[in-house]
C-alpha cells in the first residue's frame, strides 16, 4: 500500500510539471517515439576504431612526382580507412627541404620561357592573370608577380611586424583583425610566388596537417629521430596502428617491436619485396595511394584484422589464478583436496592381503560353491 501511495505521488508531480511546462510532455513524447522506432539501438555493440599514427621518412620517400599537399591529403584519406588518424609526423634533414625535383625544375624553366615570350608580345594569354588579393588583372605573369611583391608582400610584412611588436590583449586583437587578410595572402602567394627554398615541401605538408621536423645533416639523423618518436608513441600507447612511409630497412626493429606489442603495422613504399613489407601486416605502394586503390584495399585489411581479433578471443589459455578462484582452491589446499578425492575413490580398489596361493579358495568361498 505504501509503495502504491508513492507511485501515485510521483504521477501527480509529473502531471503538475506537464501542466506548468509544456516542454516536459514534448520531451517525453519524443523520447518514447525514438525508443519505439529503434528499440535495439542501445543494444548494438559499438565498433572501436584504431588510433592510427603516420610516420613519414622524407629522406627516403619524398613526394617528387606529385605536389606535396596533394600527396599528403591522398595518403591521409587512404590511411583513414584503417582507423582514426591521430598523429601525422614527417622527419627530414635540411637537404630534403632545399632539394627541387626534376619535374618542378622543368616547370619553372617553362614558366620563364613563357614570361619572356609574353614580354616580347609573341604570346598572349587566353585569359588575363588575376591577383588573388585585390582582384586586379594583368596580361603578363611577370607584371602580376611584380605587383604582388611591391604591394601585398609589403603589407604582409607590416602586419607581421605589428603583431610581433604588440603584447597582451593588443596582440590578440591584431591577430584576430588580420587573420582573414593573412590567410588570403598565403593562398594567393602559393599560386603566384616561387618558394625561396626548395619547392615549399615543409609548408605544404604543414598545411595538410603534418607535424614537420627538421633534423641535423648527420647521416641517419632522420631515421634515429623518427625511430625514437615511434617508440615513444608505443610506450605511451597513443596508437594501435603504426604506418611507416619508407623503404628503409633500418625500421625493421621498430616494426618487430610493434608486432610484439600486438600493434597493427602498415608500410607504404615502392619496393615490393622489401624487408619492411615482409614483416608488416599490410603494405601499399605510392601508386595505389595516388590512384585511390589503397583506400579500397584498406577495407579488406580491416576485415582481416577483425577476424583475427575474434579468433584470439576464442582461444583458451590456462591461468592458474583464475582456476583457483573458480574452484575455490586455497594456496595449499589444492593437492590435499586431490589426495582426498583419489584416496576415497581408490579405497575399494586396494586388494586385501592373502597369504595363500591364488588357486586355493577360502573356506567361505568353498562352502558357497559346494
Q: Is the pLDDT of residue 262 over 90?
A: no
Stretch 241-261: mean pLDDT, rounded? 91
Q: Do residues 64 and 101 make contact, with C-beta atoms less than 8 angstroms apart?
A: yes
Stretch 274-301: mean pLDDT, rounded? 87
CB atoms within 10 A of CB 121: 9
pLDDT for the residue 174: 93
Confidence of residue 369 (pLDDT cuts 50, 70, 90): low
CB atoms within 10 A of CB 89: 19
C-alpha 21/C-alpha 30 separation (Å) is 15
CA distances from 92 to 61, 89, 154, 270, 293 (A): 10, 10, 31, 19, 27
Confidence of residue 296 (pLDDT cuts 50, 70, 90): confident
Length of the chain: 370
- Highest mean pLDDT, choosing among 143-152, 291-300, 334-343: 143-152
C-alpha 126/C-alpha 113 separation (Å) is 17
C-alpha 312/C-alpha 305 separation (Å) is 11
For residue 314 the three cell numbers come to 576464442
Is pTM beyond 0.75? Reply is: no
Task: Tell whether the torsion through CA atoms of 18, 19, 20 and 22 is positive or negative.
Answer: positive
CA 193 to chain CA centroid, nearest Å? 34
Smallest CA-to-CA distance from 102 within 67, 66, 64 is with: 64
CB atoms within 10 A of CB 300: 11
Q: pLDDT over 70 for what percent of the chain?
A: 73
The tens digit of pLDDT for each residue in 94-105 reads 888 888 888 888
Amino acid at each position: 500500500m505504501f509503495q502504491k501511495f508513492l507511485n501515485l505521488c510521483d504521477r501527480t508531480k509529473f502531471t503538475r510539471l506537464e501542466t506548468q511546462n509544456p516542454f516536459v510532455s514534448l520531451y517525453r513524447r519524443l523520447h518514447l517515439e525514438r525508443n519505439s522506432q529503434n528499440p535495439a539501438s542501445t543494444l548494438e555493440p559499438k565498433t572501436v576504431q584504431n588510433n592510427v599514427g603516420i610516420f613519414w621518412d622524407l629522406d627516403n620517400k619524398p613526394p617528387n612526382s606529385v605536389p606535396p599537399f596533394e600527396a599528403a591529403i591522398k595518403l591521409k584519406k587512404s590511411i583513414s580507412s584503417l582507423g582514426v588518424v591521430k598523429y601525422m609526423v614527417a622527419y627530414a634533414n635540411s637537404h630534403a627541404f632545399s632539394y627541387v625535383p626534376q619535374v618542378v625544375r622543368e616547370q619553372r624553366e617553362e614558366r620563364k620561357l613563357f614570361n619572356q615570350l609574353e614580354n616580347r608580345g609573341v604570346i598572349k594569354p587566353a585569359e588575363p592573370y588575376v591577383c588573388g588579393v585585390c582582384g586586379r588583372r594583368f596580361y603578363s605573369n611577370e607584371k602580376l608577380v611584380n605587383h604582388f611583391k611591391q604591394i601585398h608582400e609589403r603589407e604582409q610584412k607590416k602586419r607581421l611586424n605589428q603583431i610581433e611588436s604588440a603584447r597582451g590583449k593588443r596582440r590578440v586583437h591584431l591577430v584576430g583583425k588580420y587573420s582573414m587578410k593573412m590567410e588570403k595572402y598565403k593562398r594567393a602567394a602559393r599560386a603566384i610566388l616561387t618558394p625561396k627554398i626548395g619547392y615549399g615541401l615543409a609548408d605544404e605538408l604543414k598545411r595538410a596537417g603534418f607535424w614537420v621536423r627538421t633534423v641535423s645533416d648527420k647521416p641517419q639523423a632522420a631515421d634515429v629521430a623518427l625511430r625514437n618518436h615511434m617508440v615513444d608513441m608505443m610506450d605511451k600507447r597513443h596508437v594501435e596502428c603504426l604506418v611507416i612511409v619508407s623503404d628503409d630497412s633500418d625500421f625493421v626493429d621498430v616494426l618487430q617491436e610493434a608486432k610484439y606489442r600486438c600493434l597493427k603495422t602498415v608500410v607504404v613504399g615502392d619496393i615490393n619485396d622489401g624487408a619492411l613489407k615482409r614483416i608488416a601486416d599490410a603494405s601499399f605502394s605510392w601508386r595505389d595511394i595516388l590512384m585511390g586503390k589503397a583506400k579500397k584495399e584498406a577495407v579488406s585489411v580491416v576485415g582481416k584484422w577483425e577476424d583475427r581479433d575474434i579468433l584470439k578471443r576464442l582461444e583458451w589459455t590456462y591461468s592458474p589464478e583464475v582456476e583457483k578462484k573458480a574452484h575455490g582452491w586455497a594456496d595449499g589446499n589444492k593437492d590435499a583436496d586431490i589426495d582426498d578425492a583419489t584416496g576415497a575413490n581408490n579405497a575399494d580398489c586396494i586388494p586385501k592381503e592373502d597369504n595363500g596361493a591364488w588357486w586355493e579358495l577360502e573356506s567361505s568361498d568353498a562352502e558357497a560353491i559346494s
